[in-house]
Structure 1
Amino acid sequence: MNHLQDVPLAKAYLLLNHGPSTLVTSEHAGVANVMAAAWVMPLDFDPPKLLLVLDRNTWSRHLVEGAGTFVIQLPSRRQAELTLAVGSSNGGELDKFARYDIAHGRARQVQAPVVEGCLAYLECKVIAEPHNQEKYDLFIAEVVAAYADERVFSKGRWHFPDEESRTIHYQAGGAFFATGEAFQVVKAEA
Protein backbone atom coordinates (compact mmCIF):
# COMPACT_ATOMS: atom_id res chain seq x y z
CA MET A 1 0.00 0.00 0.00
CA ASN A 2 3.06 2.21 -0.55
CA HIS A 3 1.65 4.08 -3.54
CA LEU A 4 -1.46 5.46 -1.85
CA GLN A 5 -2.04 9.20 -1.96
CA ASP A 6 -4.79 11.18 -0.30
CA VAL A 7 -7.61 12.41 -2.52
CA PRO A 8 -9.19 15.73 -1.47
CA LEU A 9 -12.58 14.85 -0.01
CA ALA A 10 -14.38 17.33 -2.28
CA LYS A 11 -13.02 15.27 -5.21
CA ALA A 12 -13.71 11.81 -3.73
CA TYR A 13 -16.69 11.38 -6.08
CA LEU A 14 -14.23 11.08 -8.98
CA LEU A 15 -13.18 7.69 -7.62
CA LEU A 16 -16.71 6.32 -8.26
CA ASN A 17 -17.94 8.38 -11.22
CA HIS A 18 -17.13 5.68 -13.77
CA GLY A 19 -19.33 3.09 -12.00
CA PRO A 20 -16.89 0.32 -11.04
CA SER A 21 -17.60 -2.80 -9.02
CA THR A 22 -16.54 -2.34 -5.42
CA LEU A 23 -15.60 -4.30 -2.35
CA VAL A 24 -17.25 -3.28 0.92
CA THR A 25 -15.52 -4.04 4.21
CA SER A 26 -17.11 -3.67 7.60
CA GLU A 27 -16.49 -4.70 11.19
CA HIS A 28 -18.59 -4.79 14.34
CA ALA A 29 -17.94 -6.35 17.74
CA GLY A 30 -14.67 -7.85 16.51
CA VAL A 31 -16.24 -9.57 13.47
CA ALA A 32 -15.20 -8.42 10.00
CA ASN A 33 -16.53 -9.11 6.51
CA VAL A 34 -15.90 -8.23 2.89
CA MET A 35 -18.50 -8.34 0.12
CA ALA A 36 -18.75 -7.24 -3.50
CA ALA A 37 -21.18 -4.46 -4.41
CA ALA A 38 -22.07 -2.97 -7.76
CA TRP A 39 -24.69 -0.49 -6.55
CA VAL A 40 -22.52 2.30 -5.14
CA MET A 41 -22.63 5.87 -6.41
CA PRO A 42 -21.49 9.37 -5.47
CA LEU A 43 -24.20 11.62 -4.04
CA ASP A 44 -22.68 14.95 -2.99
CA PHE A 45 -19.44 16.95 -3.01
CA ASP A 46 -19.11 18.87 0.25
CA PRO A 47 -19.29 17.11 2.51
CA PRO A 48 -18.77 14.16 0.17
CA LYS A 49 -21.48 11.53 0.35
CA LEU A 50 -22.25 8.28 -1.41
CA LEU A 51 -25.08 5.77 -1.68
CA LEU A 52 -24.72 2.04 -1.09
CA VAL A 53 -27.42 -0.59 -1.53
CA LEU A 54 -27.07 -3.33 1.12
CA ASP A 55 -29.67 -6.09 0.97
CA ARG A 56 -31.19 -6.81 4.37
CA ASN A 57 -30.17 -10.47 4.08
CA THR A 58 -26.42 -9.83 3.84
CA TRP A 59 -24.03 -10.32 6.72
CA SER A 60 -22.39 -6.99 5.86
CA ARG A 61 -25.71 -5.22 6.43
CA HIS A 62 -25.73 -6.51 10.02
CA LEU A 63 -22.15 -5.30 10.57
CA VAL A 64 -22.68 -1.88 8.94
CA GLU A 65 -25.83 -1.26 10.99
CA GLY A 66 -23.94 -2.21 14.15
CA ALA A 67 -20.80 -0.19 13.48
CA GLY A 68 -22.21 2.70 11.48
CA THR A 69 -19.13 2.63 9.23
CA PHE A 70 -17.74 0.81 6.19
CA VAL A 71 -15.05 1.13 3.54
CA ILE A 72 -15.61 1.10 -0.22
CA GLN A 73 -12.66 -0.27 -2.20
CA LEU A 74 -12.12 -0.41 -5.96
CA PRO A 75 -10.55 -3.71 -6.97
CA SER A 76 -8.45 -4.08 -10.10
CA ARG A 77 -8.78 -6.58 -12.92
CA ARG A 78 -6.19 -8.75 -11.16
CA GLN A 79 -8.68 -8.98 -8.25
CA ALA A 80 -11.69 -10.10 -10.32
CA GLU A 81 -11.54 -13.69 -9.05
CA LEU A 82 -11.45 -12.44 -5.45
CA THR A 83 -14.33 -10.05 -6.17
CA LEU A 84 -16.45 -12.90 -7.54
CA ALA A 85 -15.55 -15.17 -4.60
CA VAL A 86 -16.44 -12.68 -1.85
CA GLY A 87 -19.58 -11.69 -3.74
CA SER A 88 -20.71 -15.31 -4.02
CA SER A 89 -20.25 -16.41 -0.41
CA ASN A 90 -21.93 -15.58 2.90
CA GLY A 91 -19.83 -13.90 5.57
CA GLY A 92 -22.24 -15.13 8.22
CA GLU A 93 -21.20 -18.70 7.38
CA LEU A 94 -17.43 -18.29 6.96
CA ASP A 95 -14.56 -15.89 7.57
CA LYS A 96 -13.89 -14.68 4.02
CA PHE A 97 -10.57 -13.09 4.98
CA ALA A 98 -9.28 -16.48 6.17
CA ARG A 99 -11.02 -18.61 3.53
CA TYR A 100 -9.70 -16.61 0.57
CA ASP A 101 -6.39 -15.63 2.26
CA ILE A 102 -7.12 -11.93 1.77
CA ALA A 103 -4.24 -9.62 2.66
CA HIS A 104 -5.64 -6.71 4.58
CA GLY A 105 -4.77 -3.76 6.78
CA ARG A 106 -6.74 -1.24 8.79
CA ALA A 107 -8.70 1.78 7.64
CA ARG A 108 -7.32 5.19 8.58
CA GLN A 109 -10.45 6.89 9.99
CA VAL A 110 -13.04 4.17 10.65
CA GLN A 111 -13.01 0.83 12.44
CA ALA A 112 -12.83 -1.61 9.51
CA PRO A 113 -10.34 -3.68 7.54
CA VAL A 114 -9.15 -2.66 4.06
CA VAL A 115 -8.25 -5.14 1.31
CA GLU A 116 -4.65 -4.61 0.22
CA GLY A 117 -3.93 -4.03 -3.44
CA CYS A 118 -7.13 -2.18 -4.34
CA LEU A 119 -6.89 0.90 -6.53
CA ALA A 120 -8.85 3.29 -4.29
CA TYR A 121 -10.49 3.49 -0.87
CA LEU A 122 -13.36 5.56 0.51
CA GLU A 123 -13.90 5.34 4.27
CA CYS A 124 -17.49 6.09 5.21
CA LYS A 125 -19.73 6.89 8.18
CA VAL A 126 -23.41 6.06 7.80
CA ILE A 127 -25.88 8.95 7.92
CA ALA A 128 -28.84 7.34 9.64
CA GLU A 129 -31.92 7.34 7.41
CA PRO A 130 -33.99 4.46 8.85
CA HIS A 131 -36.81 4.84 6.31
CA ASN A 132 -34.47 4.55 3.30
CA GLN A 133 -32.51 1.71 4.89
CA GLU A 134 -35.59 -0.35 5.76
CA LYS A 135 -37.74 0.33 2.71
CA TYR A 136 -35.09 0.51 -0.04
CA ASP A 137 -31.95 -1.10 1.51
CA LEU A 138 -30.31 2.25 0.70
CA PHE A 139 -27.53 3.59 2.90
CA ILE A 140 -26.34 7.18 2.71
CA ALA A 141 -22.84 7.77 4.03
CA GLU A 142 -20.36 10.59 4.39
CA VAL A 143 -16.89 9.92 3.02
CA VAL A 144 -14.43 10.77 5.82
CA ALA A 145 -11.22 9.63 4.10
CA ALA A 146 -10.34 8.92 0.47
CA TYR A 147 -7.09 7.69 -1.01
CA ALA A 148 -5.98 6.02 -4.22
CA ASP A 149 -3.00 4.36 -5.85
CA GLU A 150 -1.15 7.25 -7.46
CA ARG A 151 -0.04 4.97 -10.31
CA VAL A 152 -3.67 4.84 -11.56
CA PHE A 153 -5.34 7.92 -10.07
CA SER A 154 -3.66 11.31 -9.82
CA LYS A 155 -4.51 14.95 -10.47
CA GLY A 156 -8.20 14.02 -10.29
CA ARG A 157 -8.06 11.54 -13.18
CA TRP A 158 -7.91 7.80 -13.75
CA HIS A 159 -5.08 6.63 -16.00
CA PHE A 160 -4.49 2.91 -16.36
CA PRO A 161 -0.86 1.95 -17.09
CA ASP A 162 -1.68 -1.67 -17.96
CA GLU A 163 -4.63 -4.03 -18.46
CA GLU A 164 -4.39 -5.64 -15.00
CA SER A 165 -4.57 -2.25 -13.24
CA ARG A 166 -7.98 -1.29 -14.65
CA THR A 167 -11.11 -1.10 -12.50
CA ILE A 168 -13.73 -3.76 -13.22
CA HIS A 169 -17.46 -3.79 -13.84
CA TYR A 170 -19.59 -6.83 -13.04
CA GLN A 171 -22.30 -7.94 -15.44
CA ALA A 172 -23.63 -11.31 -14.20
CA GLY A 173 -22.73 -15.00 -14.06
CA GLY A 174 -19.03 -14.34 -13.47
CA ALA A 175 -18.76 -11.96 -16.45
CA PHE A 176 -16.83 -8.72 -15.97
CA PHE A 177 -15.44 -6.07 -18.22
CA ALA A 178 -12.50 -3.77 -17.52
CA THR A 179 -12.71 -0.01 -17.73
CA GLY A 180 -11.95 1.09 -21.28
CA GLU A 181 -9.61 3.59 -22.79
CA ALA A 182 -9.79 7.18 -21.56
CA PHE A 183 -10.04 10.05 -24.03
CA GLN A 184 -10.52 13.80 -23.81
CA VAL A 185 -13.09 15.95 -25.63
CA VAL A 186 -12.62 19.68 -25.93
CA LYS A 187 -15.83 21.65 -25.62
CA ALA A 188 -16.63 23.48 -28.87
CA GLU A 189 -17.06 27.23 -28.75
CA ALA A 190 -20.72 28.26 -29.15
Structure 2
Amino acid sequence: MIDDWDQMYASGEYSHHWDYAYPSQELVAFVASIAFPPDACAVDVGCGAGREAVFLAEYGFRVVGVDLSREALHIAAKRAREAEVEVDWHHGNVLRLPVDDQTVDLINDRGCFHLIPEEDRNRYAVEAARVLKPGGRLFLRGCRMNEANWDRFVAVTPEAVDRHFGEWFERGPVLPLRLVSDAGGEGLPANLVVLRRRQDG
Protein backbone atom coordinates (compact mmCIF):
# COMPACT_ATOMS: atom_id res chain seq x y z
CA MET A 1 0.00 0.00 0.00
CA ILE A 2 2.81 2.44 0.86
CA ASP A 3 4.46 1.69 -2.49
CA ASP A 4 1.19 2.56 -4.24
CA TRP A 5 1.07 5.99 -2.59
CA ASP A 6 4.75 6.64 -3.33
CA GLN A 7 4.22 5.73 -6.97
CA MET A 8 1.24 8.07 -7.30
CA TYR A 9 3.22 10.97 -5.87
CA ALA A 10 6.44 10.18 -7.76
CA SER A 11 4.60 9.93 -11.09
CA GLY A 12 2.50 13.03 -10.49
CA GLU A 13 -0.71 11.01 -10.73
CA TYR A 14 -1.86 12.44 -7.39
CA SER A 15 -2.32 15.82 -9.09
CA HIS A 16 -5.08 14.30 -11.25
CA HIS A 17 -7.07 13.09 -8.25
CA TRP A 18 -6.72 15.03 -5.00
CA ASP A 19 -4.19 17.86 -5.30
CA TYR A 20 -5.24 21.50 -5.06
CA ALA A 21 -3.48 24.83 -5.42
CA TYR A 22 -5.10 26.50 -2.42
CA PRO A 23 -6.11 25.31 1.06
CA SER A 24 -9.71 24.20 1.27
CA GLN A 25 -12.23 26.95 1.95
CA GLU A 26 -13.73 25.03 4.85
CA LEU A 27 -10.37 24.84 6.64
CA VAL A 28 -9.68 28.53 6.06
CA ALA A 29 -13.11 29.44 7.44
CA PHE A 30 -12.71 27.10 10.41
CA VAL A 31 -9.35 28.40 11.65
CA ALA A 32 -10.52 31.98 11.15
CA SER A 33 -13.52 31.31 13.39
CA ILE A 34 -11.63 29.87 16.39
CA ALA A 35 -9.45 31.87 18.78
CA PHE A 36 -6.48 29.52 18.86
CA PRO A 37 -3.62 30.58 21.16
CA PRO A 38 -0.63 32.33 19.53
CA ASP A 39 1.63 29.30 20.02
CA ALA A 40 -0.97 26.72 18.92
CA CYS A 41 0.23 23.39 17.55
CA ALA A 42 -1.51 21.70 14.61
CA VAL A 43 -0.95 18.18 13.31
CA ASP A 44 -1.94 17.46 9.71
CA VAL A 45 -2.58 13.71 9.50
CA GLY A 46 -2.19 12.14 6.08
CA CYS A 47 -0.77 15.50 5.00
CA GLY A 48 0.10 14.31 1.49
CA ALA A 49 1.71 17.03 -0.61
CA GLY A 50 1.33 19.47 2.26
CA ARG A 51 -1.03 22.14 0.97
CA GLU A 52 -3.03 22.47 4.20
CA ALA A 53 -0.03 21.99 6.48
CA VAL A 54 1.71 24.87 4.71
CA PHE A 55 -1.41 27.03 5.05
CA LEU A 56 -1.59 26.31 8.79
CA ALA A 57 2.07 27.31 9.16
CA GLU A 58 1.41 30.51 7.22
CA TYR A 59 -1.49 31.20 9.57
CA GLY A 60 0.87 30.98 12.55
CA PHE A 61 0.52 27.42 13.85
CA ARG A 62 3.46 25.26 14.80
CA VAL A 63 2.76 22.41 12.38
CA VAL A 64 3.61 18.73 12.29
CA GLY A 65 2.82 16.96 9.01
CA VAL A 66 2.59 13.15 8.99
CA ASP A 67 2.24 10.88 5.98
CA LEU A 68 3.04 7.30 4.95
CA SER A 69 4.51 8.42 1.63
CA ARG A 70 8.08 9.69 1.51
CA GLU A 71 7.44 10.97 -2.00
CA ALA A 72 4.51 13.06 -0.77
CA LEU A 73 6.69 14.52 1.97
CA HIS A 74 9.36 15.54 -0.57
CA ILE A 75 6.72 17.54 -2.45
CA ALA A 76 5.36 18.96 0.81
CA ALA A 77 8.81 20.07 1.97
CA LYS A 78 9.41 21.84 -1.35
CA ARG A 79 6.09 23.67 -0.98
CA ALA A 80 7.01 24.76 2.54
CA ARG A 81 10.37 26.10 1.35
CA GLU A 82 8.67 28.02 -1.46
CA ALA A 83 6.20 29.50 1.04
CA GLU A 84 9.08 30.26 3.44
CA VAL A 85 7.46 28.49 6.38
CA GLU A 86 8.63 25.79 8.76
CA VAL A 87 6.76 22.49 9.03
CA ASP A 88 8.02 19.50 11.01
CA TRP A 89 7.51 16.71 8.44
CA HIS A 90 7.40 13.09 9.60
CA HIS A 91 7.29 9.89 7.61
CA GLY A 92 5.02 7.79 9.79
CA ASN A 93 1.69 6.32 10.68
CA VAL A 94 -1.24 8.32 12.07
CA LEU A 95 -1.85 5.45 14.49
CA ARG A 96 1.49 6.34 16.19
CA LEU A 97 1.85 10.11 16.00
CA PRO A 98 5.31 11.58 16.71
CA VAL A 99 4.05 14.09 19.29
CA ASP A 100 3.76 14.14 23.07
CA ASP A 101 0.58 13.64 25.07
CA GLN A 102 -1.83 16.58 25.25
CA THR A 103 0.36 19.00 23.29
CA VAL A 104 -1.80 19.59 20.20
CA ASP A 105 -4.52 22.21 19.71
CA LEU A 106 -5.75 21.06 16.28
CA ILE A 107 -5.66 17.87 14.25
CA ASN A 108 -6.45 18.46 10.59
CA ASP A 109 -7.72 15.46 8.64
CA ARG A 110 -8.68 15.88 5.00
CA GLY A 111 -9.28 12.38 3.71
CA CYS A 112 -7.15 10.30 6.10
CA PHE A 113 -9.73 8.73 8.42
CA HIS A 114 -11.74 7.44 5.46
CA LEU A 115 -8.71 5.31 4.52
CA ILE A 116 -8.43 3.75 7.98
CA PRO A 117 -9.93 0.23 8.02
CA GLU A 118 -12.67 -0.44 10.53
CA GLU A 119 -10.43 -2.60 12.71
CA ASP A 120 -7.97 0.30 13.20
CA ARG A 121 -10.42 3.17 13.65
CA ASN A 122 -10.51 2.89 17.44
CA ARG A 123 -6.71 3.16 17.48
CA TYR A 124 -6.97 6.34 15.42
CA ALA A 125 -9.46 7.80 17.89
CA VAL A 126 -7.34 6.81 20.90
CA GLU A 127 -4.26 8.39 19.34
CA ALA A 128 -6.12 11.60 18.52
CA ALA A 129 -7.40 11.74 22.10
CA ARG A 130 -3.87 11.13 23.44
CA VAL A 131 -2.19 14.01 21.63
CA LEU A 132 -4.92 16.64 21.80
CA LYS A 133 -5.11 19.03 24.72
CA PRO A 134 -8.43 19.06 26.61
CA GLY A 135 -10.63 21.26 24.44
CA GLY A 136 -8.48 20.63 21.35
CA ARG A 137 -10.22 20.09 18.03
CA LEU A 138 -10.18 17.39 15.39
CA PHE A 139 -11.29 18.84 12.04
CA LEU A 140 -12.38 15.74 10.12
CA ARG A 141 -13.47 15.41 6.50
CA GLY A 142 -13.96 12.17 4.62
CA CYS A 143 -15.99 10.20 2.11
CA ARG A 144 -19.60 9.79 3.24
CA MET A 145 -20.50 6.67 1.25
CA ASN A 146 -19.10 3.41 -0.05
CA GLU A 147 -19.38 2.77 -3.75
CA ALA A 148 -17.91 -0.01 -5.85
CA ASN A 149 -15.38 2.26 -7.56
CA TRP A 150 -14.30 3.73 -4.20
CA ASP A 151 -13.53 0.43 -2.52
CA ARG A 152 -10.55 1.82 -0.62
CA PHE A 153 -12.75 4.26 1.33
CA VAL A 154 -14.51 3.49 4.62
CA ALA A 155 -17.40 5.93 4.96
CA VAL A 156 -17.32 8.72 7.53
CA THR A 157 -20.87 8.71 8.86
CA PRO A 158 -22.46 10.08 12.06
CA GLU A 159 -22.71 6.49 13.34
CA ALA A 160 -19.03 5.79 12.67
CA VAL A 161 -17.97 9.04 14.33
CA ASP A 162 -20.07 8.35 17.43
CA ARG A 163 -18.91 4.74 17.64
CA HIS A 164 -15.21 5.50 17.51
CA PHE A 165 -14.88 8.97 19.05
CA GLY A 166 -17.77 9.15 21.51
CA GLU A 167 -15.75 8.12 24.55
CA TRP A 168 -13.30 11.04 24.33
CA PHE A 169 -14.92 13.69 22.15
CA GLU A 170 -17.95 15.90 21.87
CA ARG A 171 -19.00 16.48 18.30
CA GLY A 172 -20.82 19.09 16.30
CA PRO A 173 -23.17 18.33 13.42
CA VAL A 174 -22.00 16.09 10.59
CA LEU A 175 -22.30 18.27 7.50
CA PRO A 176 -22.17 17.29 3.82
CA LEU A 177 -19.59 18.80 1.48
CA ARG A 178 -17.43 17.81 -1.48
CA LEU A 179 -13.69 17.30 -1.41
CA VAL A 180 -12.71 19.10 -4.58
CA SER A 181 -9.37 19.11 -6.35
CA ASP A 182 -7.83 21.02 -9.22
CA ALA A 183 -8.48 18.03 -11.50
CA GLY A 184 -12.03 19.21 -12.14
CA GLY A 185 -15.28 17.33 -11.79
CA GLU A 186 -17.77 17.49 -8.97
CA GLY A 187 -15.48 16.30 -6.22
CA LEU A 188 -15.88 13.48 -3.72
CA PRO A 189 -19.11 13.44 -1.68
CA ALA A 190 -17.90 13.79 1.89
CA ASN A 191 -18.88 14.66 5.43
CA LEU A 192 -17.31 17.26 7.69
CA VAL A 193 -17.40 17.16 11.47
CA VAL A 194 -15.60 19.07 14.21
CA LEU A 195 -14.80 17.02 17.32
CA ARG A 196 -13.71 18.64 20.58
CA ARG A 197 -11.58 16.73 23.09
CA ARG A 198 -13.46 16.45 26.36
CA GLN A 199 -11.93 18.16 29.37
CA ASP A 200 -12.47 15.09 31.54
CA GLY A 201 -12.04 12.22 29.05
Scaled by the length of structure 2, what TM-score is found?
0.25
Scaled by the length of structure 1, what TM-score is found?
0.26
Higher helix proportion: 2
Higher strand proportion: 1
User: Higher relative CO (CA 8 A, sep ≥ 6), structure 1 or 2?
Assistant: 1
